[in-house]
Amino acid sequence: MEHIFDDAYFMRKALQEAEIAFDKGEIPVGAVIVIDDKIIARGHNLTETLNDVTAHAEMQSITAAANFLGGKYLQQCTLYVTLEPCQMCAGALYWSQISKIVFGARDMERGCINLKTKLHPKTKIEGGVLAKEASELLKRFFIMKRNLN
Task: Judge contact between 122 and 130, C-beta under 8 A.
Answer: no
Is residue 89 annotated as involved in ligand binding? yes
96 closest CA partner among 9, 31, 11, 45: 31
Cα 118 to chain centroid distance, Å, stands at: 17
The C-alpha atoms of residue 28 and residue 8 are separated, in whole angstroms, by 18
Q: Residue 40's CB: how many other CB atoms inside 10 A?
A: 18
**Options 17, 19, 48, 58, the catalytic residue:** 58
Asked if 58 is an active-site residue, the reply is yes
Is residue 56 annotated as involved in ligand binding? yes
**Which residues are the active-site residues?**
58
Binding-site sequence positions? 56, 86, 89
Binding-site sequence positions for Zn(2+)? 56, 86, 89
